[in-house]
Structure formats: C-alpha cells, structure tokens
Amino acid sequence: MSLPTYTAWNYRIWHYTYLTICGLVFFFLIAPLFIILPLSFNAEQYIHFSAKMLALDPEGFSLRWYEDMIYGTKNPWGLAAKNSIIIAFFATIGSTILGTVAALGLSSRHMPYKAAFMALLISPMIVPLIISGTAIFFFMAKVGLAATHTGIVLAHIILGTPFVVITVTATLTGFDHSVTRAAASLGSNPVNTFMKITLPLILPGVISGALFAFVTSFDEVVVVLFLAGLETTTIPIQMWVGLREQLSPTIMAVATCLILMSTLILVSAELLRRRSERLRGINR
Amino acid sequence: MSTEQILSSDGLPLEVSLRKAERKNKLKALFLVGPLFLFLIITYVFPIGDMLFRSIDDRKITKMLPNTFTAIEKWDGQNLPEEPVYAALYEDLAYLKKTKTYGKIIARLNYEKGGFSSLIKKTVRKLGKFEDGNYKEQFINVHKRWGQPEYLVALKNAAPNWTYAKYLKGVDLKFDQNGDIVQQPEDRRIHKILWLRTLKVAFWVTIFCFILAYPISYLLATLPMKYSNLLMICVLLPFWTSLLVRTSSWMVLLQQQGPINDLIVMLGLAANDNRPELMYNVIGTFVAMTQILLPFMVLPLYSVMKTISPSLMRAGKSLGGTPFVAFRKIYFPLTVPGIGAGSLLVFILAIGYYITPALVGGASGSLISNTIAYHMKSSLDWSFAAALGTMLLVGVLTIYWIYNKLVGIDNIKLG
C-alpha cells in the first residue's frame, strides 16, 4: 500500500505504525510454526538451539530424529500412523456421504424447519469436545465399541459431518436448479441427475468438506483419548502422551511432517475454493 | 367469490394438486436429511441425554440397600431410628456380604459423609456374629457411629432415586444433615474459582483475539488480491495445522530455556538464573490460546470487511470527516456483525478448551474441561463429570442460541 505524495506527515507515521502492528500480528501467527522445523534437525538431544546450529555448522544438524521416528524400536509412530490413516480414511468417506446428502436436503426450498435441523446437524462442531467425548464414550462402552477402530470411526464421522454440511451448503447457495430440471425433463432419473449434473458442479465444495473431515479426524485427540486402546492408538494420542512426558526431538520431527501435510492440504483447499467460485460464476 | 374450481390436468383441484406436489418435495428433502439426522440422534443426541441422566441418577445404591431405604423413609431424622431400620440394614448388609458387593456402597456413602468406609467395613466383618433380634443394640456395639444420628441422616439422604447433589457440588454447595443447601467447607470451594477462571480466560482470549485480528483483517480486506492471498496463508496455515503441533510449538517457545526467555535475558529484563515462568500457569494458557483461536476471529471479520465498499470511507472523508471520524462513524459500525460472529465463535471454542490448557496451563491455568477429564479418567466420579459437563453444555448452548439468533448458523464460514 503506497501513500499518495500529498499525505500529511502525521498520517504517514500512523500508516507505517499500522503496517508494523500488522506485521507483528502476522509474525505472531506464523512464527511459532517455523520454530519447530530447525529444531527437528537438531543433532543434540535437547530442544534447544545449540551453538553449532546458530553458527550454521553442518555438524549441528542431523536426521537422527527422523530415523528414530521411522526405525526407532520403542517408537509407536508406525502403528499410530497406520491407525490414523485408516480411521481418517473411513471417517472421511462416512462424513462426506452423510454430510453431502444432508446438505442437498437442507438446501432444498421445501425443507421444513430448516434452521432447527441445521442447528442440530452443526452442533457437534460447537459442543465442547470434552462433552462429546464423555457422551460418546458412555455410548460406545454400552454398545461394546470402545477401543475399537469402528467406534473411533463412528465418533469421527459425528465430528466431521458439520464441516461437510457447511461447505456443501455454501456451494449449493447460488446453485442453478434449472440445470437439474432440464436433466429431469430430458428423462433422467434423480440418481442419474445427481451423479451426472449436480455432483460435478458441487464437487469442489464436497472435496473441500472432505478435506476438513479428514483433518478433523486426523488431528482429533480429545474424543480418541476416551475411546482409544493400546491397539487403536493414533498420531495425536502419541503426541499427547509424548508432550505430557517431555518434549523430545522426535516429536519435533513428527510435528514437522504434520506441518508439511497441512501445507499440502491448505494449498489443495485454496485451489478448490477458487475453482468452486469460478464454477459458480462468482468473480472476485 | 367464484365457486368454480380450477382443475389440473389429472382432474384434481389445482389447490389439492399443488399441495400434493409440495408435500412430495418436502418429503424428498426430509428423506435426504434423514440419514444424518438419525445417525446423530442415535450416536450423539441420545448419548448426551444419557449423560445428563447419569448426572442425576442415584439408583445404584437404592438397589443395593432396598430394605434399609424403605424402613428409614418413615424416620423423622431427629432421635435415633427404631429397631426395624437396623433390622432392615442387617438384612441388606448380610446380602451384600454374601455377594461380596458391599465395596460399591462405601464410595457412594463416603461422598455423603466421611467415615463410612471404616464403619461399613468393620460392621460387615462382624456381621457373622450377629444374633437374631435387638439389632439396634448390636449395631451400636460394633461401632459407636451407628448410634450417632448424623450417620443415619447421611444414609437417609442417599435414599432418593434421583439427586441434584452433583450439581450443587459443581458450584461449591452441598446438602447438610437436615437436607438444607449450604456452602462447602472453605478448603473445598474449588469449583467456583474454576468456573470464574474459565469465563475469565475465555473472555480475555476473545478480547485479545479481537484486538489482534481487527487490524490484520482490515489489511487483508483492503490490499490488492495478489498480496492479500499471500498474507492469507499466514492465517490459514495455522488454521489447518494440527492443534497438538501448535501447542507443542508454544511449549518449545515458552519453556524456561526457550527462545522467548533467551530474548528476555538478552534484553536484560531478567537475570539468567531468574528466568520468568512463562509456561504451566495462566500466562501460557492465554498466549497459546490467543494464537490458536486467532484465525477464527480473522475469517469472519475478513468476510464482512470484504463486502464494505471503500467508496463509503471516501464519501465520509469528502464530507469533511477526518479519517479517524470516518472510520469510527462509518467503517466500524459496518463491521459489528463480523465482530459479533467472530467473538461468539472464539468464546464458544475457548470456554470448552481442553488440550492446550492441559499441556501449557499447569495447575493454575487449567480450565473446567480439564476438571471434567480428571473426574472421568482419574477420580472416576463419572456422575460428577457428567454434572459439570451438563452445566458447561447448557452455557455453550445458550451462547450458540444467541449466535444463531444474531448471526445465523448458515453464515459460519470456513476458509
């Protein structure tokens, strides 16, 4: 933002102060994430910038914590990663299907009590996780699904659907219903119309909802703390356990991998959002 | 009024035909929402109701001491009860001893009054030597507490099937011996402090988030697209990053030998051997939660500011207002909906926060969620955890209701 030449000096000062404040806030937001990256390559055992690291001496850096993460005998990261991926995969599929279908109904003009239904379907996102965790734990224990993959997947479907409902309903606002009517008038049945006409148009919203559901499941720790057993441990559980004991460099290595993953997801989500806006004819 | 009816092509009156078509559409929409609705009712709404139920359910002990509770019902609670009560108590305890389940009533009765543990254990041990008849005297001979009315009052207080005693405990109140509601003893009043701290942290985190989010949202909304997209990454990357990763980075930053403390020492604000404690107290909770929840304030503010036309500010200035006046009278009022949406969202999320306070908060920075988790996992007083959970839930749902009235659920924006 450049200022016109006629700007008075006091506004000039105010303007640059303002930009500095903004810069500091952005720094506050993003810097904590980047502190982890160099520390994960630390050659020493402590979470600390060693003198060698500060001098950029190659000897100060190593990949030993990544080796430890992958090959370490006592480290449960392999099992945890496998569980996390399996659980997040099925939870994403479940949330996406249930959420998309529900969003189609909610976006219909004829839906009665729309606000009440919407409030209920979004509530798992609003209710504190500790309460959801407690309630779901009692339920899963009663039906014998505590400490099973199925139980955790069901719990994550509950937590993931609100995101899918929100993103898909947002995509469906401004959806041109005359195209589906045109398909119907040409003799297409509703399922065929959905698969061939509606779905391709709302696909960006569906995928970005699915990404949200995936991340929700992959990061979720509170509910899993109640539900997980030894065999159903996940990455967040292992991080939680590790962080409670002590900060180990291996956790920094895992965290770096997770930051990398979230960067990838952020990029795909952004690309999808732009594509969706283009498809719906919203130009910015 | 014309009596002639307009008929549709299938011979039905138009009105009927239209209503039929609308009903069909309505059913179709309901049918689509149905699966998720039923799924949530069974796996979510019903379990939460069950939890509420658990917080007032006191039937377990009623089932274990059925005769005693029937007999004690008629007792006025003044002088010692008569023989039938003791006879019934003998019958119940003898059965519990036979089935070896008397351990379960001890914990429950100890909540009511301390000292029941040794009382029950000793009585059960000597139960075999009891003779028929005159149970009252034999009970008092085994342990003198059976002759003290307050223990029998405690027993009577445990009799009802349903109780809201756990809710009283949640706000540092309890039933005294006469069944009146009184304050807990001074050293046990911990929950009120906890509720106040939770509200205080949620409130200040919301304020901090607002103060930090407002300027950058304005910048994001007014910058040209190509710059603002780049800066938006700073907001969205933390938003998409695992909560545990963000919390662990704060643990790295705030630890005693961490970079922030290094900086403080370098600037000479503190001596090297006297580094301030930034973590495991309420400071850690504040700083980490503010950074973690900041995107939830920026996104709604940004989406509102994006819709405000810059020409409004120019018009204000051209009419003689200084930029400050134009901002205060024109721009700020237009952003109030965004402030409301963001603040309510941050407040709702902050009030139920668990992970971050548990890791960086220590004892003085822990919130109500941490206490619920403690009672779920460590003290195993599940009905108390359920009562605290229900109280928190009522609070959150109230704010959610306000949010829905003011902002509308459909206006929640994600990214």
Cβ contact A276:A174 at 8 Å: no
Cβ contact A223:A159 at 8 Å: yes
> Model confidence over B205-240: pLDDT tens digits?
999 999 999 999 999 888 888 888 888 888 888 888
Written as six digits, the tokens of B93 are 């305890």
Is B254 an 8 Å CB contact of chain A?
no
**DSSP code per residue over B272-335:** GGG----SSSHHHHHHHHHHHHHHHHHHHHHHHHTTS-HHHHHHHHHTT--HHHHIIIIIHHHH
Is A77 an 8 Å CB contact of chain B?
no
Q: What residues of chain B lie within 8 A of the CB of A49, using their CB?
A: 259
Compute the nearest-CA separation of B62 from chain A (Å): 22
Per-residue confidence (pLDDT) for residue A284, from 0 to 100: 41
| Average pLDDT score over residue span B375-401 | 87
Per-residue confidence (pLDDT) for residue A283, from 0 to 100: 45
Cβ contact A62:A253 at 8 Å: no
How many Cβ atoms are within 10 Å of A59's Cβ, its own excluded? 10
Helices and strands of chain A, counted as H and E runs:
13, 0
Q: What is the mean pLDDT of chain B?
A: 82
Q: Which of A170, A76, A164 is nearest to A122 (CA)?
A: A164
Q: Which residues pair with B162 in a beta bridge?
A: B57
Q: What residues of chain A lie within 8 A of the CB of B351, using their CB?
A: 128
Written as six digits, the tokens of A75 are 């480290």
Q: Which of A131-135, B83-87, B352-356, B396-400 has the lowest mean pLDDT?
A: B83-87
CATH of B191-411, one of 1.10.645.10, 3.40.50.970, 1.10.3720.10, 3.90.1150.10: 1.10.3720.10
Is A217 an 8 Å CB contact of chain B?
no
Is A37 an 8 Å CB contact of chain B?
no
Instruction: Give start and end residues of each alpha helix (H) in A186-248.
Output: 190-193, 199-219, 222-227, 235-245
Cβ contact A110:A121 at 8 Å: no
| Residues within 8 A of B (CB atoms), A 156-175 only | 157-158, 161, 163, 165-167, 169-170
For the purposes of burial, counting CB atoms within 10 Å of the CB of B77, is it exposed (0-12), middle (13-18) or buried (19 or more)? middle
Cβ contact A156:A91 at 8 Å: yes
Interface with A, mutate which of B240, B246, B261 (most A CBs under 10 A): B240
How many Cβ atoms are within 10 Å of B283's Cβ, its own excluded? 18
Cα–Cα distance, B155 to B273 (Å, whole number):
57
User: Phi/psi of residue B249, each to 5°?
Assistant: -65, -35
| Average pLDDT score over residue span A266-276 | 80
Domain boundaries of chain B, sorted by first residue? 59-161, 191-411
Q: Which of B170, B177, B172, B165 is nearest to B188 (CA)?
A: B172
Cα–Cα distance, A182 to A188 (Å, whole number):
9
> Model confidence over B279-304: pLDDT tens digits?
888 888 889 999 999 998 998 888 88
Written as six digits, the tokens of A138 are 């009692």
Q: What is the mean pLDDT of chain A?
A: 84
Cβ contact B102:B93 at 8 Å: yes
C-alpha angle B17/B20/B23, rounded to 5°? 150
Assign B3 a pLDDT band (cuts: 50, 70, 90): low
Per-residue confidence (pLDDT) for residue B393, from 0 to 100: 92
Interface contact flag, B248 A239, Cβ < 8 Å: yes
> Model confidence over A45-67: pLDDT tens digits?
777 776 677 767 777 777 777 77
Assign A132 a pLDDT band (cuts: 50, 70, 90): very high
| Average pLDDT score over residue span B360-371 | 84
When mean pLDDT is compared over B204-213, B235-244, B368-377, the highest value belongs to B204-213
Is the per-residue pLDDT at B182 higher than 90?
no
Per-residue confidence (pLDDT) for residue A76, from 0 to 100: 79
Distances (CA, A) of B368 to B172, B199, B206, B371, B372: 14, 9, 17, 5, 6
Written as six digits, the tokens of B413 are 């924006």
Cα–Cα distance, A275 to A171 (Å, whole number):
11
Q: To which H or E segment does residue A81 belong?
A: helix A77-106
End-to-end CA distance of chain A: 19
Cβ contact A123:B47 at 8 Å: no
> Model confidence over B80-130: pLDDT tens digits?
777 777 778 777 877 777 777 777 777 777 777 777 777 777 787 777 777
Cα–Cα distance, A159 to B19 (Å, whole number):
37
ipTM: 0.85
Per-residue confidence (pLDDT) for residue B291, from 0 to 100: 92
Cβ contact B108:B158 at 8 Å: yes
Interface contact flag, B245 A36, Cβ < 8 Å: yes
